[in-house]
Structure 1
Amino acid sequence: MDDTEQIERLYTPGEVADYLGIERQTVTKYARLLEQNGYNFLKDEKGNRNYTDSNIMMFKELIKQRNRPGIALETAAKSIVAIYESKSVFPTDTLIPSDITRLEQATADRLDQQDKTMEKQSELIRVLLERLDEKSKYEEERDKRFNERLDKIVAEVSASVIKQLDQKENQLLLTAKEEVEITKKEVASAKEEIEAIKAEKKASSLDFSESEEEALTRSFSMP
């Protein structure tokens, strides 16, 4: 570590205010006044001021000069900027080498953290995509099993209906055959009855003729 980094330490506005016993807004007011007179404070990547031990001494001197009779704050600021710029071993750039190194490291750390975050997000997205794919496959397989089951049920119901229709048709045919057989028997029975009646009538007619013939014969043979 070089002498610059050993001597110079960066302070926040709040730390400077606490050290000097003034308000934080006053620190900002003094810093702006010094900047208006040509002084450049150290700033981070966001443009926020960081103060060194030298800056604290400048503020102390400014407060001291402000309390002197007849000294305007603007005049005190100009003289202080001139004195400290001539004595300063640091460049007037807004960032010293040690601060640049620290910011570069902070930026690298932030980028590394972002890379890790993006890697985690990518892994999360990959897991989510895998789950979605598994869910899609599961739903596809479920729909396939449902359709197969539905087809099986439809086939079973269709077969049952067809069987019932066949049984009903067979029953109707059997009933029709039975009725035809009954009708045939009834017709045959009716024919037998008719033939019997005819035979009976014929026999009755023959008996009548024979009786008449005997009566005539007897009448002719009488004296």
Structure 2
Amino acid sequence: MELALLSSEVAETLGIGSSTLRKYALALEEGGYQFERGQNNARLFYNRDIVILKQFITAVNKNHMPVENAVKLAVELQKKQIVTPPAPYQGTPVATLERFYSTLENIDRNQEKLIQINMALYKQQELLNQRAKERDKLLLENIRLSQSNSQQVRKGFFRKLGDLFKT
């Protein structure tokens, strides 16, 4: 049996506010989408609803689809039952626990790899920053030297010009 979630849990899962979820759910219902209701008439959300809501949010926010079109798409998905929730895991509690611990170990390994990659990137960024500072320092020195030489050339030119008029 599939577990139903409450709107506050779904809103958190989707990364939106509860009021935004209510607004989206109401728009979907007005377009013909049907959510199951609990004893107190609260909407119950199942995996298939969450998947469709994610697609709805992506269509509206990222793809800039008008809400009306996104509602039609969601209703069609529900009618065609294109989105089907994954089958629940069939196994013994021990096997489920072992799979859970295995997943945790994989997460820990991946987290360690990410930390190492971040440290290497940080070192590279520090090296690039240092090289940029050295480059900027050299550029400033060359600009000052160029300006100094330019002023000396101008002084020499005007002296020669003045010498021409003196004679």
State TM-score, norm by structure 2: 0.46
Structure number with greater Rg is 1
Higher relative contact order (CA 8 A, sep 6+): 2
Structure having the higher helix fraction is: 1
State TM-score, norm by structure 1: 0.35
